[in-house]
Structure 1
Amino acid sequence: LVEAVTAADSGPQVLVSGSAVGYYGASKTGEYSEASPGGADFLACVCQEWEAATRPAQASCRVVVLRIGIVLGPDGGALGKMLPVFRLGVGGPVGSGRQWMSWIHRTDFCRLMVAALADPAFRGVYNAVAPNPVTMGEMAASLGQAMGRPSLLPVPAPLLQALLGDGAMVVLKGQKVCADALGERGFSFAYPTLPEALKEIVHASS
């Protein structure tokens, strides 16, 4: 794709590339901004190589790289698998519950994509996450409260791996990622905190 962009006589004005917060590696204690160095695990290396592949396009057009967190919506991903479990009253923290979850509501992610495409001021790397990351324990408590269900039974790692496959590692090994660059850009979140995001998602799924 980048080769096509750079070779075109009249190419696109902007290239928006989706990376992931896995760029930073997993950590229970670190806090990461766009200026933080990349991690050394497999997913981090994949993200770093993916982002490096977009750099030649910078000579031809505006390039925006979004390091995407866990996108929350009612009909897919980790939350989509958790909703039925909580409805049965058997939900709870995932894994230890102490790992960080850097998330973004699906509506805000779509708004961010539109802004990255349409606003010439967007350029470079942005963490596509809400400004208030939470632990998985806090996430489970907020989801239980939004659904009016208990949040007492921990979800063991093997069960989550059976439900999500390789995607389970995204929620079992997290990182605390900040939305500093989006704040500096003036991006306004419709759902900046998890309780209000989950309230909307639960209502949409009912």
Structure 2
Amino acid sequence: MRIVIAGASGLLGTSMSETFRNAGHDVVSLVRRGAASADEISWDPGAGRLDPGALAGADAVVNLSGAGIGDRPWTRKRVEELFSSRVGPTVTLANAMWQLDVPPAVFISQSGSGYYGDAGNTVLRESAPAGSGVLSRICMEWEAAAATVPAGVQLVVPRTGVVFSRTGGALGRLLPLLKLGVGGPLGNGRQFWPWVTLPDVSAAFLFLLESGISGPVNLCAPEDGDVNAIVAALARALHRPAVLRVPAPVLRLVMRNLAEELLLSSQRMEPAVLAAAGFRWQHPTLAAAAQWVAGREGADALS
């Protein structure tokens, strides 16, 4: 299978490209600079420029485009960038497909668990309604842009949860504190984070490429966990205490609305579509995920 990836240089894209290649697929990356090799194609998504020939002959397109949600404070300009860096590239890809006699058969366009907003303890399957807030609006516009692909293209929209990795990603700031023994739960810790490990994200995308599934897909582990449980599991795997709770008012003071939507909102997502289709997680439990994050995969059970 020939797979074109937009956003291949990021955390998810790097892992995904390796997973696809290891599975025997050809991977072509769309880059915003000049192409440096045969497996790169230059494009300018900000200006809506992509030679449709870049997608000719591709079996699938994977869209991971988007500026980092938690990288910078949410000024008005930054929020506009969060929207435009997702919607613009998605529209550019869809427009290029319309110009082909035979567009790629599959389009997997990333979305996020933020689609559901702050849903408290409600169990969220793919049929659950959208929530409110900046992240919800971003995801809705992102998904609407993806839905403009030509009829007949199999559209898959993974609503990906909090991705656990050993470096960077959602744990990029929390993990170093936990390793030093000075981390702890955020807020009251009872908010649910729909977590998933980086290897399982890449494996799930590979599964979706070949499964025939279409529509929204909750991409998270089958075992849910609130922040208290997540932090406790990571701390046990690292053999460190995690008692220094950061109160919600402090988070709101320091991070403002970024704290409310990224750290304090609750999405108790259930990966109903993936589970029904027979996807098998490498790290289905918090204990297994924490061992992997800590580099102790295969070690004895956590104590």
TM-score when scaled to structure 2? 0.62
How far, CA to CA, are the matches of 1:93 and 1:74 in structure 2? 19
Q: Is 1:138 aligned to 2:229, yes or no?
A: yes
Q: Is 1:126 aligned to 2:217, yes or no?
A: yes
Structure 2 counterpart of 1:151 = 242
Show the 5 A alignment for 1:79-90. Answer: 79-90=171-182
Q: Is 1:13 aligned to 2:105, yes or no?
A: yes
Q: Is 1:62 aligned to 2:154, yes or no?
A: yes
Structure 2 counterpart of 1:109 = 201
Q: Which amino acid aligns with 1:61?
A: V
How far, CA to CA, are the matches of 1:145 and 1:96 in structure 2? 19
How far, CA to CA, are the matches of 2:209 and 2:123 in structure 1? 28
* Contact map agreement 2:121 2:266 (CA 8 A) in 1: no
SS at match of 2:172: helix
1:31 to 123, 126, 130: 123
Q: 1:102 to 1:58 in 2, by over 3 A?
A: farther
* Contact map agreement 1:6 1:56 (CA 8 A) in 2: no
How far, CA to CA, are the matches of 2:253 and 2:282 in structure 1? 31
Structure 2: gaps of 5 or more residues: 1-92, 298-303
Identity of aligned residues (%): 34
* Contact map agreement 2:119 2:131 (CA 8 A) in 1: no
Q: Is 1:203 aligned to 2:295, yes or no?
A: yes
How far, CA to CA, are the matches of 2:176 and 2:113 in structure 1? 27
How far, CA to CA, are the matches of 1:167 and 1:68 in structure 2? 19
Q: 1:100 to 1:161 in 2, by over 3 A?
A: farther
Structure 1: gaps of 5 or more residues: none
Structure richer in helix, relative to its length = 1
Q: Which amino acid aligns with 2:186?
A: V
Displacement of 1:174 after TM fit?
A: 2.2
Q: 1:181 to 1:107 in 2, by over 3 A?
A: same
SS at match of 2:173: helix
Q: Is 1:46 aligned to 2:138, yes or no?
A: yes
Displacement of 1:80 after TM fit?
A: 2.4
SS at match of 1:171: helix
How far, CA to CA, are the matches of 2:185 and 2:96 in structure 1? 45
TM-score when scaled to structure 1? 0.90
How far, CA to CA, are the matches of 2:154 and 2:205 in structure 1? 14
Q: If you compute each CA radius of gyration, which structure gives the higher value, 1 or 2?
A: 2
Coordinate RMSD, CA, aligned: 2.2
Displacement of 1:171 after TM fit?
A: 2.4
Q: 1:161 to 1:188 in 2, by over 3 A?
A: farther
The list of structure 1 runs, each at least 4 consecutive aligned residues, that deviate by more than 6 angstroms after superposition, is: none
* Contact map agreement 1:74 1:204 (CA 8 A) in 2: no
How far, CA to CA, are the matches of 1:185 and 1:58 in structure 2? 25
* Contact map agreement 1:129 1:177 (CA 8 A) in 2: yes
Q: How many residues are paired up?
A: 203
Displacement of 1:204 after TM fit?
A: 6.7
SS at match of 2:261: helix
Note the alpha carbon deviations across 1:26-70, whole angstroms, 9 max, x for none: 122222100111112221122112112222325041111100100
